[in-house]
Amino acid sequence: MQRRNLLILGGAAAAVGLGKAALSSINTAPAPNLNDSSRAIAPANRNPLLLRFVATADSGSSNENQAAVAAAMTRYYQRSPYKLAVLAGDNIYDNGDIGKVNSAFERPYQTLLKNGVIFRACLGNHDIRSVNGDPQVQYPGFNMPGRYYTFRDKAVQFFVLDTNVNVDWSVQQPWLEKELSRSNATWKIVYGHHPIYSSGVYGNTQGFIENLSPLFKKYGVQLYINGHEHSYERTRPINGTTYLITGNGGAYLRPVGRSPWTEYSVSRYGFTAFEVFRDRIKIQAIATDHQVFDQGIIPLKTA
């Protein structure tokens, strides 16, 4: 079975700025009466940050590129603290050997781990080469209760998939639909290792387009995150879902093109940061030189 056309068994930017208040009649306005209790109190922030998290994939290369991305993630944490990091597969190269977890995970991200950042992983194709990835599922640092699972943080619910060729979709797909259907989360985010829409080397996965994307549309999934392509790509919303590839976490880069639905794509090392608010998700792609090379907004659709 070719990776480009994975078979699903059994069925399956512009940042928002704050406007500057206009100043008028500065020489004629009366001085405020600080003792006037009738003056209105400034309202509290009605749209606070709900969650900040980062995502990376194809990261476990144990080389200087992974170290540079990890350093950029650490610097971003120091400026904008977060408590969650998504690992979208190929966590340990080349063959998923858990014996390499120190060089591929613990050492590069040691500062983040010491500060309590929780990493939540899914399995990539390289990860299942050793004992079908079971040691990684059991490894505490990856926080995987199973090969696929869901977790929630306030108004954000994540649905984590095993997208590998040997997965039993006759079990996983009904599970996904059940979990999506029962979720009342404002924001629904799915991630797995393999792409659904891609302008990279592997291209689209037609089976996923036919079987997963309709579920995303039906249940209002706003974002799908993946790796496998060693590049970065963000799509325009496709039937309400933004597809984001962040496979630039350390493994050697591959070329990426553009498709009619591509918003931005590049072959450049880095990671992706997300800030979730009540009415939008802000996306920033950040390079190893700490520069933001892509940004976008996913607005909340209420209709």
Residues 274, 167: Cα–Cα separation, whole Å: 29
Look at residue 75 and give its three-state secondary structure: helix
The per-residue pLDDT for 301 is 87
The residue ranges of DSSP E strands in 170-277, in sequence order, are: 187-191, 223-226, 232-235, 242-246, 262-266, 270-276
Closest CA to 111 of 147, 134, 85: 85
CA distances from 46 to 16, 50, 161, 277, 279 (A): 15, 11, 34, 10, 11
H or E element in which residue 39 lies: none
The per-residue pLDDT for 11 is 40
Closest CA to 159 of 208, 86, 232, 101: 86
Please, are residues 202 and 6 in contact by the beta-carbon 8 Å criterion? no
Q: Tell me the pTM.
A: 0.85
The per-residue pLDDT for 275 is 98
The per-residue pLDDT for 44 is 57
Q: Which tens digit of pLDDT belongs to each residue from 209-255?
A: 999 999 999 999 999 999 999 999 999 999 999 999 999 999 999 99
Query: DSSP state, 173?
Result: H
Q: What is the mean pLDDT of residues 64-85?
A: 98
For residue 54, give every residue at least 6 positions away whose Cβ sits within 8 Å of its Cβ, in sequence order, or none. Answer: 73, 76, 82, 84, 85, 86, 271, 272, 273, 274
Q: What is the mean pLDDT of residues 123-129?
A: 98
H or E element in which residue 56 lies: strand 51-56
Residue 24 has pLDDT above 70, yes or no: no
Could you tell me the domains of the chain? 50-299 (3.60.21.10)
Residues 190, 158: Cα–Cα separation, whole Å: 6
Residues 112, 28: Cα–Cα separation, whole Å: 53
**What is the CA 202 to chain-centroid distance, rounded?**
20
* Helix spans in the chain (H): 64-79, 101, 110-114, 134-138, 169-182, 206-211, 213-219
Residue 303 has pLDDT above 80, yes or no: no
Of the pLDDT bands very low, low, confident and very high (cuts 50, 70, 90), residue 3 is very low
Q: Which tens digit of pLDDT belongs to each residue from 263-290?
A: 999 999 999 999 999 999 999 999 999 9
Q: What is the mean pLDDT of residues 73-102?
A: 98
Residue 59 has pLDDT above 90, yes or no: yes
Mean pLDDT (the chain) is 89
The per-residue pLDDT for 17 is 38
